[in-house]
Amino acid sequence: MASRLAGQVVLITGASSGIGEALAREVARRGGRVVLAARRTERLEALAGELRASGGEAIAAACDVTRDGDVERAVAQAIEAFGRLDVAIANAGFGVMGRVEDLSLDDFRRQLETNVFGALRTVKAALPELKRARGGVALIGSASGYLAFPTMGAYTMSKFAVRALAETLRAELHADGVAVTHVAPGFVESEIRRIDNAGKLLDGAREPVPRWLILPTPTAARQIMDAIAARRAEVIITGHAKLGVSLARHAPALLNAAIARLPRKGRRARG
């Protein structure tokens, strides 16, 4: 699997922390060349320096996926630095929590702008180069793209949409030789559960998910990159996510009955 990425150029949005940061390290470990894209440029520069110091090739590209033109500029930097783009990973995202009746329309707009339109901007910016390279695009969704829980309506809407986008693209791009991989993680080590509804990291906020249930990001990154390198249609990360998705597919009535009994108040952990 590693040799399939050697020398390839991989763009990763949301690369400044969590899964995106771990994916960058994994791509570099496999000999790929990395384009790190995110808003927090100081983190990107530090990570790019770390990867280069260990013998890898990496550049940092300031990029806000909610702004038109930013991802196009990141793609242009990739072409300028490396001459091509083989894989784009739409990873940037966060989660808005709360009951539908309590959230404002702006809360939903902010959620969809990042998680859905951010992924769409990434795809549209990268597609000309990916078609030229007959490469691959990966959309980082969530197990919540199959499972709708109370107080997670905005987030699950966004992740259902990401899954729909992946399935649509897979059919549309098949003849162009571009592979589309939908990634559905469960609970993975990340800052996402310590970010508020405005997308701000809460310093000192506690991790709401039990530690034993959280998969380390390096492990998740290896599984994700294995799937991308193999051009798989989908990969579901963590055992609990696989169980939940299986229930959604094969026993929806049982799953819905269980979800109906969940508490209706408070924030829920995102997976």
The residues that bridge with 179 in the sheet, in sequence order, are 136
Long-range CB contacts for residues 49-52, cutoff 8 Å, separation at least 24: 51/24, 51/25
Confidence (pTM):
0.89
Identify the burial level of 91 via C-beta atoms within 10 angstroms of its C-beta, where 0-12 means exposed, 13-18 middle and 19 or more buried: buried
Q: Give the other-Cβ count within 10 Å of 251's Cβ.
A: 12
DSSP code for 191: S
The radius of gyration of the chain's CA atoms, rounded to the nearest angstrom, is 18
Q: What phi and psi values does residue 49 have, to the nearest 5 degrees?
A: -65, -40
- How far apart are alpha carbons 23 and 2 in whole angstroms? 13
Q: Which amino acid is at 137?
A: V
State pLDDT tens for residues 138-150: 999 999 999 998 9
How far is 171 from 100, CA to CA, in rounded Å? 33
Q: What is the structure's pLDDT at 261? A: 76
Tokens of 101: 């009746």
- Measured on CA atoms in the order 177, 225, 71, 192, is the torsion positive or negative? positive
Nearest-5° Cα angle at 245, 241 to 246: 115
User: Tokens standing for 118?
Assistant: 């951010």
Instruction: Give the residue numbers marked as catalytic.
Output: 155
CA 96, 100, 101, 105 torsion-angle sign: positive
Provide the pLDDT for residue 198. 67
Residues of the chain with pLDDT under 50: 1, 193, 266-268
180/157 Cα distance (integer angstroms):
20
The gap from C-alpha 229 to its chain's centroid, in whole angstroms, comes to 16
- For residue 91, give every residue at least 6 positions away whose Cβ sits within 8 Å of its Cβ, in sequence order, or none: 12, 13, 14, 15, 19, 20, 23, 140
What's residue 267's pLDDT? Answer: 42
